[in-house]
Amino acid sequence: MQTQNPSVSLIKATSYEREALRESLVTLLEPFGGIAGFVKKGDRVLLKPNLLTGSRPTKECTTRPELVYEVAQMVIEVGGQPFLGDSPAFGSAKGVALANGYQPLLQELNLPIIEFHGKRYQTVSEDFNHLLLCKEAMEADVVINLPKVKSHAQLTLTLGVKNLFGCVPGKMKAWWHMEAGKDATRFGEMLVETAKAINPNLTILDGIIGHEGNGPSGGEPRNLGVLAAAADVFALDRAMLEVLQVPPHQVPTVAASQRLGVCPELDNIQFPNLSPDLLQIEDWLLPDKLMPIDFAMPRVIKSTFKHLYIRFLKEPMSVYGKR
């Protein structure tokens, strides 16, 4: 998946106000030919924000709805058909989105929110050929990944690669936490294989306001004033580590992408707008203490039971009985 001399567009951006944000996104995407460089007329375009939780809507735990709105609007303007999707570990994508203020954009743009369903897809790595990924992501014409800059109590940082774990169905997330979570190296490699399989066409990173400290939800907002975009999600994550001044070996996803040969060297990344050193953040707060990644078996069972219970209530005959 690694591209030759990939480009990462980095700019200063300080406002989620509609006109200012639109202008920032135009500048951000200009080196790639705008959104039209990724979306053609008639394309079904998955917008994949970070919809972690609805319980802390003022703490910048999720991708801002203003950013999703502007990206969706740009997709519509070039003739694409955007839809919103995610697979929160607990709760529905729609419920989390509504709790975080997405209702106005959904109504104004008539933007569908879909719940992901799992299907097995072939991966290059034999170690992870049993990955169960969401068919809605794999079968979209275009995937636009819309992560949030956040510290992470288990993985140090969550950026573009980690956000694509949301393309794994909820019950499988809990399973992977148990299966690979005791080994941060293996878990990082699983996340990289997921990102390789999803292969997003474009990643736009919401770093105007980030979430630092004991993330992904237990920290606090932090003004960063940064937007980033790239076709190569691994290059984007590597560049953001320079902005946040975090060594790559501390972030399992980036370390894994380097070991697996999909992360370009920093010197080989082109920066058509600003270079990372011009945007560096001083004293970005990482978690106080890293926590184990793995879920205990009772939590896996609880998550799986909840998933099956919800499915049974929604589709009792088509899923478990005769049609």
Structural domains of the chain ordered from first start: 10-313 (3.40.50.11440)
d(CA 24, CA 12): 8
List, in order, residues 6 or more apart from 59 with CB less than 8 Å away: 211, 217, 219, 220, 221
Residue ranges of the chain with per-residue pLDDT less than 50: 295-297, 299-323
d(CA 314, CA 13): 42
Residue 323 is predicted with a pLDDT of: 25
pLDDT in tens, 300-310: 444 444 444 43
pLDDT in tens, 52-102: 988 888 899 999 999 999 999 999 999 999 999 998 866 889 999 999 999
Residue 115 is predicted with a pLDDT of: 85
Q: Which residue has the tokens 């480009």?
A: 7
Residue 168 is predicted with a pLDDT of: 86
Question: In this structure, what DSSP letter does residue 1 have?
Answer: -
Residue 174 is predicted with a pLDDT of: 63
Closest among 184, 136, 176 to 157, alpha carbons compared:
184
Percent of the chain with pLDDT over 90: 70
**Chain center to CA of 48:** 6
Closest among 198, 166, 189, 177 to 255, alpha carbons compared:
189
User: Using H for helix, E for strand and C for coil, what is the string for 57-108?
Assistant: CCCCCCCCHHHHHHHHHHHHHCCCEEEEEECCCCCCHHHHHHHCCCHHHHHH
| Alpha-carbon dihedral 103, 218, 179, 240, rounded to 10 degrees | 80
Locate all alpha helices (DSSP H) within 143-293, ordered by sequence.
Answer: 160-163, 170-180, 184-198, 233-244, 252-259
d(CA 111, CA 69): 9
Measured from the Cβ of residue 156, the count of other Cβ atoms closer than 10 Å reads: 24
- In degrees and rounded to multiples of 5, residue 205 shows phi and psi of -95, 125
Residue 308 is predicted with a pLDDT of: 42
